[in-house]
Amino acid sequence: MRNYETIFILHPSFDEEAVTAAVEKFKGVIETEGGIIDNVDLWGKRRLAYEIDKVNEGIYVLVNFQAEAELPKELDRIFRITDGILRHIIVKLDK
């Protein structure tokens, strides 16, 4: 198992219920693929460094998890096809 962290930015029009549903969806993907979630940190709405699709703000979510090497590829695929995700990144953490 390797340590990873992912940060994803949700569209600012999401209400609290939609944000919770999106976070639970990605937690579920990690857990069903055999990963272990260490920490989920909801940073809330913040200003973006640059405009994305005429949007200046986004809702940031940080997730730390442990998983095998195949899981980040599947998680990346799901991020790409999910509506409302402005940006995402998955990083392997050093030991």
Segment 10-42, tens digit of pLDDT: 999 999 999 999 999 999 999 998 899 999 999
The CATH class for the domain spanning 2-92 reads alpha beta
Give the pLDDT score at 94: 81
User: What is the torsional sign of CA 19, 31, 38, 1?
Assistant: negative
Instruction: Give the mean model confidence (pLDDT) for residues 44-68.
Output: 93
Q: Is the pLDDT of residue 65 over 90?
A: yes
- Contact of 8 with 26, CB cutoff 8 Å: yes
Give the pLDDT score at 10: 95
